[in-house]
Amino acid sequence: MSLKILPLLGCLLLLLPPLANAKAVPKTHQPLAAASAMLVDVKTGEVLYADHAEESHPIASVSKLLTVLVVLDAQQPLNERIEVNVDGVPGMDNVVSRLRFGSTLQRKEAIALALMSSENRAAATLAHHYPGGFPAFIKAMNHKAKTLGMAHSRFVEPTGLSSQNVASASDLIKLLKATQKYPLMGQLSSAKNRSVTLQKPRYSLAFYNTNPLVNKKGWKIHLTKTGYTDDAGHCLVMLTEMAGRQVAFVVLDAFGKYTHIADAGRLKQWLSTGKVSKVPADALAYKAEKQQQTQQTANNLEQGDSISATAQP
């Protein structure tokens, strides 16, 4: 009888999901420099790490992920050459760019530059050439964010230069998951470098990835976007692999030029080994200050809503 049961048990074991090399979440706590962070297993949905993940923050050029997603949804020809033009896009007057106004490049190249090297004029050009222009583009951005369930998000322009482009870490996890349906975004954003030839006049430019981890041994980056402004601090979002898991990673508002990169390394090591890494004192002080500012802003908004509700007849 037992001999008959053994093959049956073997079949049942084959039907079970394979045990990956994914490790359990450590019981230790890893502090980070970023004011807000979240790490999620994209296959299981398990939240591996969260710190102030529901708070809205300026997200700087991370906005360009949604910009490109909206462009791809419009299904405009990727090989179409479009003119570098930012007319109608606010906040672009003093933006430095090597892309010359009036020259042309393929829409796909503009997408690549916006993602890989965070080219602001490329992102604004994509919005300018969207059906209906800039107003329709911003409407589409906010509609897409709402569709994805990004409840703490708002967008006013395509580049992220405005501090009014805000989202929470949990919102950006949802955006990262959505990009998995757009494999071109991962391909273009994770490239180490790219050479682009523009026309009218003809000239070529070399661009490089703003995320140094694409060049670092031991990292598998499937999609990435960096961001920085004075208001947003240093931001980094990725689809990558940690401790045998495919993960969506978000850190917002980190202090220091490479602190967001260091936070990624801290979480990767912590998830793999349980080892807790120290965070520099000045980075922790910055984080505490920014979290206090965020909380005060939220309190002020709540008080304003309360006063408005009381004043209604």
- Report the share of the chain in percent with pLDDT over 90: 79
287 is catalytic: no
Residue 225 marked as a ligand binder:
yes
Dump pLDDT digits (tens) for 131-184. Answer: 999 999 999 999 999 999 999 999 999 999 999 999 999 999 999 999 999 999
CATH code at 21-295: 3.40.710.10
- pLDDT tens digits, one per residue of 62-75: 999 999 999 999 99
**Two structure tokens written together for 251:** 């850190």
Span between the terminal Cα atoms of the chain, in Å: 80
CA distance 197 to 110: 11
How is the chain split into domains, by residue range? 21-295
Q: How confident is the model at residue 16 (pLDDT cuts 50, 70, 90)?
A: very low
Evaluate whether 155 touches 172 at the Cβ level (below 8 Å): no
Nearest to residue 211, comparing CAs of 221, 202, 201? 221
pLDDT band at 21 (very low <50, low <70, confident <90, very high): low
Least confident of 21-30, 48-57, 172-181, 250-259: 21-30
φ, ψ of residue 121 to 5 degrees: the values are -70, -30
Q: How far apart are CA 25 and CA 42, in angstroms?
A: 15
Which of the residues 61, 170, 189, 190 is marked catalytic? 61
The pLDDT confidence band at residue 307, using thresholds 50, 70 and 90, is low
Q: For 87-104, what is each residue's pLDDT tens digit?
A: 999 999 999 999 999 999
pLDDT for res 167: 99
Residue range 34-53: mean pLDDT, rounded? 97
Q: Any catalytic annotation for residue 118? A: yes
Q: Which positions ≥6 away from 150 have C-beta within 8 Å?
A: 167, 168, 171, 172, 174, 175
Question: What pLDDT was estimated at residue 253?
Answer: 96
306 is catalytic: no
CB–CB of 110/97 below 8 Å? no
Catalytic residue among 56, 63, 117, 118: 118
Average pLDDT taken over every residue of the chain: 91
The predicted structure's pLDDT at residue 304: 61
User: What does the alpha-carbon distance between residue 147 and residue 57 come to, in Å, rounded to a whole number?
Assistant: 20
Catalytic option among 56, 63, 64, 144 = 64
